[in-house]
Amino acid sequence: MKEALYDFIGHYGYIALYLLLSAGIVGVPIPDETLMAFVGSLTAPGGPFEYAPTLMVIYAGTMTGMIVSYLIGHRVGKPFLHRYGKWIKLTPGRIERAEGWFHKYGLWTVFFGYFVPGVRHFTCYLSGVSGVKFYKYMLYAGTGALLWCTTFLTLGHFIGSNLDGLFQLIHKYLGVSLIVIVVVAAVVIAIYFRFRKRRVV
Chain segment 46-79, per-residue pLDDT in tens = 888 999 999 999 999 999 999 998 888 888 766 6
- Segment 184-196, tens digit of pLDDT: 666 666 665 665 5
pLDDT for residue 18: 95
Residues 6+ apart with CB under 8 A from 185: 108, 112
Give the integer Cα–Cα distance in Å for 150 and 158. Answer: 12
pLDDT for residue 198: 56
Give the integer Cα–Cα distance in Å for 28 and 22. Answer: 9
Contact 69, 125 (CB under 8 A): yes
Ramachandran region, residue 27 (left: φ > 0; alpha: ψ -120 to 50; beta: rest): left
Residue 79, number of CB atoms within 10 A of its CB:
9
pTM: 0.71
Angle at 136 between CA 149 and CA 19, to 5 degrees: 35
Residue 149 CA, chain-centre distance (Å), reads 8
Give the integer Cα–Cα distance in Å for 19 and 92. Answer: 27
